[in-house]
Structure 1
Amino acid sequence: MAIVVNENRCPQNHPCPAVRVCPVGAIEQRGFGAPKINKDKCIDCKKCVNYCPMGAIRTA
């Protein structure tokens, strides 16, 4: 499974709170843009999926 970001659900006007909970630093965000998942680092723990308040981060 892969973790993906639905940019339509992400407000993109604040620091992504899910960045802080990723244990391996696989979520990257430039400015206040939509976060990106680095698939090479991601271990599919789904902490970001559970933590995202907007439901923008999900499994695909």
Structure 2
Amino acid sequence: MVKVNSHYCPQNHPCPVVNICPTDAIIQDSPFSAPKIDESKCIKCGKCAKSCFVFSCDDCKR
């Protein structure tokens, strides 16, 4: 499962990781909100966790 640690996210700009996700599983309600993961779309590729420390994934493909 991919987790977003919103305490570390600055939440002051559009999340650049949204564009990195190959399945559009990362959503951001507004440019000033923490990103969220749509678990039904997430394929656990780990690209988000490799791109930003706000994301973590223990069972992602490496």
Unaligned runs of 5+ in 2: none
Considering only aligned residues, what root-mean-square deviation do their CA atoms show, in Å? 0.8
Identity over aligned pairs, percent: 49
Regions of 4+ moved over 4 Å: none
| TM-score calculated relative to the size of structure 2 | 0.87
Bigger RCO of structures 1 and 2 (CA < 8 A, at least 6 apart): 1
Structure 2 partner of 1:14: 13
* Number of equivalent positions: 57
| Structure 1 unaligned regions, length at least 5 | none
What corresponds to 1:27 in structure 2?
Answer: 26
Partner in structure 2 of residue 39 of structure 1: 39
Q: TM-score, normalised by structure 1?
A: 0.90
